[in-house]
Each structure stands twice: as structure tokens, then as C-alpha cells.
Structure 1
């Protein structure tokens, strides 16, 4: 397992289901599995990138766990993976995607990959705009000759162009309008 792999937390009170999802994902990600909401909140930290969360669990429901995750302001994507058919109540929920069981291995893999692409895009886009802002400040405060003579400014300009290419490449990987919109909502 590579140390730079993303971490997925699977939360489902049906142990067989949680273990199956973990088995499907373990070759590509670090996977943690828990079987109740309280345990999910105990193991959830800033290293978790994606949470696969069942809605209906005894004790603390997935809806309540989702609220706690958002209150903690953790930078993870949350996918509800549940047998509960969506209704209008989902409009108030802060999840990133919603899968209705039964879920295929392909759908699960694709969804986790899309969530990670959104995270990657959001981070790159934030860094890009930060650098562009710094460049604009320098251009407003320095004359053209000072900018032309500055190695730091030249490096900044090159870094912005490299990052622009990465942002555009990642944007192209977002498979549909919802992924693209989701990435901006993450910002």
C-alpha cells in the first residue's frame, strides 16, 4: 500500500456490506470500516478523504453523523450509500453524492474516484487563485522593469502557467456537470 493513497471510511451497520465495500476498495485506497455512527465519529479525522455513509443505523443515524462531520468542518467528501430512497429531505443535507443500494463495485469505484477528483480540483484551483492574486498585487505595486528583473516573479509566472495546465486537465476529468458544480461547491 502506497503512503500517498487516499483514505476511505466505510460506515454501515450491516457488517457484511461494510466489509464487502472495503474489500472492493482496498487495492486502491486505505480503507477503514466501522459498523455504527459513534465509531465513525471516533475514527474520523483529517486523514479521511471520502466517507461512505449508510443513512439508517441503530444509535446514531447516518444523517446525524453527516451533521457532525460538517460541524467539525473536516475536508472530506461524504457519499450516502443507503437503501433509503431519496426524498425532498435530502435538499437540506450536506452530502456530496447519494447512492441507493444495491451498489455495484463499478459504481462504488467510480463514485470514490469522482469525489477524489473534486477534492484535487478544488485544492489546485484554490492554489492557482492564490498565486494569481499574488501576481496581481506585485503587478499593481511594481513597475515593469522591476518585474522583468525579478527571478521570483518569473518563477511565480511559470508556476501559475503549470498550475493552470493541471487545473484544466483535472477539470476535464470531471465527468459531468454535477461533478464540476460539486467541485466549486467544495470551494
Structure 2
């Protein structure tokens, strides 16, 4: 998220479908489209926060695109959006969500929103652990008096506590939202 607006890459060999998903998302996200696997591999980079990838595409399947994304080390969240019912082969795939077509606007916006939240959570979690490590190292080496006298340590501790509260709030929201989504899925079955 370079400017604060998450970037979503929509990948589908059916251009009308890719454009439809993009239209559903473009009011809230920076959206890019790729009309097939090879174009997706050329387009994806570190700017992408979430990728919606069709599984069945000619020349380079969604499975191959996901494998490439993970091998290249891109940290984006990936949702497979496909007409293929899941089988046990999905266990080894590196995606975060699996959505079976046909889908509605609400399905796409909910999945992307959830994956963006997870991305933000991960970024905050990484920063939190970095601050925790710095804080612990200073606490192990400095006296209580030295720590209390340090403005920088006070700022670090304040940021650590702010992130801890943010992470707890985000985790609570995610748990509630993910539970609600799962309940809706179970109710639909």
C-alpha cells in the first residue's frame, strides 16, 4: 500500500469477468487487471496487496500463477476465484481464500476487504515484533533509571503500546468478521 490505498490485481482470462470484478472494487482500491496467467506474472509486483486469481486459464493456470507469486516472494494475499470445486489438491496451494463462482459483488468485496485487513494486520504485527525486540534488548541492558530517563525509549514504549492495542482491536474485528463469513457459508450449505 504505497499511498495508503490498497492495490488489487484481478486475474481472469475472461476479460469481461475481470473487468466486472475490477469495476466492483475500483471505488475503494487501486485495481489492475491481467487477462491471463502470463500477463499476471508480468504485472504482479510488490505494489499488489491482494490478487484475485482465476484457477482455470489457458497457457498458465491460476495454480501456476500462485506458485510463481509465492516463489518470487511477493507478500500479497491471494484469493482463488474459480468455477472449480475444491479438492484435496488445494491443501498444498499458497492461497489465502478460495471462492467458487458464480460470485456476487458482495462476495468479492468481502473477500478483498478481509484480505486487506489481514495484510494490514501482518504489517502491524511485524512492526510490533520489531519494537518488542528493541524494547526487550534495551530492558536487558539498561537500568530502570536509564530507561525512564530516555525520551527515545519512552516513545518506543508508547508506540509499542499503541500497536498492541491496534493489533488486539484488529484481531477482534477479524475474528468477528471471519466468524460471520464462515457462519454465512455454513448456512448456505
What's the TM-score once normalised by structure 2's chain length? 0.90
Instruction: Give 1:69 deviation, angstroms.
Output: 0.6
Runs of 4+ in 1 over 2 A off after TM superposition: none
**Which of residues 175, 178, 187 in structure 2 aligns to 1:176?**
178
Q: Distance in 1 between matches of 2:38 and 2:63?
A: 12
Q: Distance in 2 between matches of 1:144 and 1:34?
A: 56
Structure 1: unaligned runs, 5 residues or longer: 180-187
Equivalent residue runs for 1:58-77 within 5 Å:
58-77=58-77
Correspondence for 1:129: 129
Equivalent residue runs for 1:110-149 within 5 Å:
110-149=110-149
Instruction: Give 1:3 deviation, angstroms.
Output: 4.1
Give the SS at the match of 1:74: coil
1:21-51: CA deviation from partner (whole Å, max 9, x where unpaired):
0111111111111111000011111001111
What's the TM-score once normalised by structure 1's chain length? 0.91
Q: CA RMSD in A?
A: 1.7
Instruction: Give 1:127 deviation, angstroms.
Output: 0.8
Counting matched residue pairs gives 178
Structure 2: unaligned runs, 5 residues or longer: 182-189
1:164-184: CA deviation from partner (whole Å, max 9, x where unpaired):
11111211220236x9xxxxx
Deviates more, 1:76-85 or 1:146-155: 146-155
